[in-house]
Amino acid sequence: MTSKRLWQILPTMLGLLLLAGAIYVLQKEFRNLKLSDIQAALAAIPNGSLWAGFGCTLLAYAILTVYDRLGTVYAGHPVSYARNAFASFCAYTLAHNIGVAAVSGAAVRYRLYAHWGLSPVEIGKVIAFCAFTFGLGALPLAGLILIFEPSAIPFFGEVLPLWALYAIGAVLWALSLTYILLSKLLGKVRLFGADLELPNIKLAMAQIALATVDVAVTACIFYSLLPPAPGLTFVRFLGIYLASYSAGILASLPGGIGVFDTAILLGLAPFYDTPTIVSGIVVFRLYYYIIPLFIAGPSFAGHELWLRRRVRS
């Protein structure tokens, strides 16, 4: 097998390995779990917590709309905020649920922005900007946690020496700052044989700020659904969430299904019983994945039908 072929199948192999590990852990954790226990844990979530989680979900998706807004500005072809919001909501929701975000979200954006007059090159810039911004969020947050509360990172915070955790945190911050400096000092960088046009420094700083807030607010959805627990501060929970979120992305599965759930189940195990954690996972997925899908799916399909009727007429 050639090295090129190996690199092509490596993400799939990694995803399958993570999924297999997740299934093994879940079957052990769920062996003695009763449905009635989960139902009782769901019923125990206060209404105030449910509303707080719902509000955080609205805020998280509102933040994502700004990604597309800045993306069209970066591409040099801004459209109305309403169009940005529609494209963002449909693209991110379908990408979250279908998986392979680089393909599913890109296809939605291409279809919509092409209709709104953007050229293929401009659409490519919007897609690249949004994808890169979405990936930036974990860097500064993880860096902060590793520097100021390294023990909050599951497993690694307990195994690695403090100096190593501080060093990793510093590297993550250095990467974020390097991106800002490159945006300030260079107009373009050459990456994989292609010239990549960098956003200006204001857009670069906005990217990092937005992505950081986005990840923190999304974590708030889950955190607000959990009862208070001794020792579980939001910063510690954020470390658990970031580790689980990263594992889900590495798995390349729709919504990190199984892998994210297993990672967060293990991370929260010292603080809660299994039914409480599972109830949080259920409501989190309902808020952040299922309900938006039932809105975005018909909305995008309706837009496609409207376009076809308009073309025929």
Predicted local distance difference test score (pLDDT) of residue 66: 93
Burial 63-86 (b: 16+ CB within 10 A, else e): bbbbbbbbbbbbbebebeeebbbb
The model's pLDDT over 51-69, given as tens digits with 9 standing for 90+, comes to: 999 999 999 999 999 999 9
Token pair for 171:
């590297």
For residues 224 and 38, give the distance between their C-alpha atoms in angstroms, rounded to a whole number: 18
Give yes or no for a contact between 172 and 179, defined as CB atoms under 8 angstroms apart.
no
For residues 201 and 209, give the distance between their C-alpha atoms in angstroms, rounded to a whole number: 12
Is residue 106 helix, strand or coil?
helix
Give yes or no for a contact between 265 and 277, defined as CB atoms under 8 angstroms apart.
yes
DSSP state at residue 7: H
pTM value is: 0.84
The model's pLDDT over 81-93, given as tens digits with 9 standing for 90+, comes to: 999 999 999 998 8
Higher confidence at residue 139 or residue 209?
Answer: 209
Write the DSSP assignment of 262-298 as a string of letters.
Answer: HHHHHHHTTTS-HHHHHHHHHHHHIIIIIHHHHHHHH
**Which range in 21-35, 133-147, 201-215, 217-231 is most confidently predicted, on average pLDDT?**
217-231
Q: What are the domain boundaries of the chain?
A: 49-300
Residue 93: CB atoms within 10 Å: 26
Inter-CA distances, 24 with 30, 74, 148, 209, 240, Å: 10, 45, 34, 37, 20
For residues 148 and 298, give the distance between their C-alpha atoms in angstroms, rounded to a whole number: 44
Q: Please, which pLDDT band fits residue 44 given cuts at 50, 70 and 90?
A: confident
53: exposed, middle or buried (C-beta count within 10 Å: 0-12, 13-18, 19+)? buried
Mean pLDDT of 236-249: 84
